[in-house]
Amino acid sequence: MASAKNYRGRLAPSPTGYLHLGHARTFWIARQRARTQGGTLILRNDDIDAQRFKLEFVGAMIEDLHWFGFKWSEGPDCGGPLGPYSQSDRTRFYRAALDQLRTGGFIYPCTCSRKDIAAAARAPHAADDDEPIYPGTCRSKSPSTIHSPPSTRFNWRFRVTDSETISFHDENLGPQAFVAGKDFGDFVVWRHDDVPAYQLSVVVDDAAMQITEVVRGEDLLKSTARQLLLYRALGLAAPRFFHCPLMTDKTGVRLAKRHDALSLRKLRENGVTPDNLRRDW
């Protein structure tokens, strides 16, 4: 276990919309945990997905976080020893990890379309999961079956070991266990549009930025299990994990960037103060 002195936590928002109260609460927990352990908090701009992120949200994100009372000692706005802190500037690191996975035989090229996968999916995927369980159509393809430059675009997928249980201790929720092939399948690490997938970029960065504890929403529990497989395959030490309950609106629906009324921006415009918002936390 890392000593209290070198605790390193991170806030890793994606600039795809205005931050809302749910983000603020998860981040506040991250901040408190870093503070109580005398640690360092870093801000990372998870802007890898150029199709979804908008530049205007990067500035807004930093402004809203400052307004709410967050401070960080390393980040895209202030630099630091383990930068760059914007994912769009880190592609070379993701590419190196992809090469390592390919050389190690952990990944394979997959030419299936989203439609093929949806049609062939073995089991209905859980509503909270972002990626349907891959039916395994391209599993036996080896990297050498793809000619360079590729004539067709493809995803690189990580091959899981069916029935392997991935267990970990969550600092908030206690023991967790997920079964590969059942809770999630072979997952994409590099997308057909030449963008590293979330699972890969986040592992590469959390390791490179020496994060000792990842604080995130509990909707990402299964992603954490997938990421543990990547840490292992890449020979990297995994951080600890603390998954927070998700914030819901009055009707029990999970807050999302479309809940405009609960965006930090709107709340601030309406004269709400951060102190008031944090009263019950």
Residue 110 or 220: which CB sits closer to ligand GLU?
220
List 46, 49, 186, 205, residue binding ligand GLU (CB under 6 A): 46
Task: Find tokens 């150029």 and name the residue.
Answer: 50
Query: What's the min distance (Å) between Cβ of 172 and ligand GLU?
Result: 14
Alpha carbon distance 260, 267 (integer Å):
9
Residue 12 or 188: which CB sits closer to ligand GLU?
12
263 part of the interface to ligand GLU, by CB under 6 A = no
13 part of the interface to ligand GLU, by CB under 6 A = yes
Q: x/- binding map, residues 217-236, to ligand GLU, per CB under 6 A? A: ---x----------------
CB atoms closer than 10 angstroms to residue 269 = 9
Residue 110 or 189: which CB sits closer to ligand GLU?
189
216 part of the interface to ligand GLU, by CB under 6 A = yes
CB 33 within 8 A of CB 242: yes
Task: Take residue 137 and report the two structure tokens written for it.
Answer: 């159509």
Q: What are the distances in angstroms from CA 186 to CA 102, 227, 256?
A: 14, 12, 27
Give the Cα-Cα-Cα angle 47, 31, 202 (nearest 5 degrees). Answer: 30
Contacts of ligand GLU in 189-208 (CB under 6 A): 202
Q: Looking at 74-82, 114-122, 213-221, 264-272, which segment touches ligand GLU (CB under 6 A)?
A: 213-221
Query: What's the min distance (Å) between Cβ of 176 and ligand GLU?
Result: 15
Give the Cα-Cα-Cα angle 20, 67, 36 (nearest 5 degrees). Answer: 85
155 part of the interface to ligand GLU, by CB under 6 A = no
Query: What's the min distance (Å) between Cβ of 214 and ligand GLU?
Result: 6
Q: Looking at 10-18, 71-79, 131-139, 176-184, which segment touches ligand GLU (CB under 6 A)?
A: 10-18
14 part of the interface to ligand GLU, by CB under 6 A = yes
Alpha carbon distance 12, 87 (integer Å):
10
Alpha carbon distance 242, 170 (integer Å):
6
Residue 43 or 202: which CB sits closer to ligand GLU?
202
Task: Take residue 158 and report the two structure tokens written for it.
Answer: 């990580």
CB atoms closer than 10 angstroms to residue 219 = 15
Query: What's the min distance (Å) between Cβ of 118 and ligand GLU?
Result: 23
Contacts of ligand GLU in 49-68 (CB under 6 A): none
Give the Cα-Cα-Cα angle 40, 45, 47 (nearest 5 degrees). Answer: 160
Alpha carbon distance 218, 126 (integer Å):
14
Residues of this chain that interact with ligand GLU (CB under 6 A) are 12-14, 46, 202, 214, 216, 220
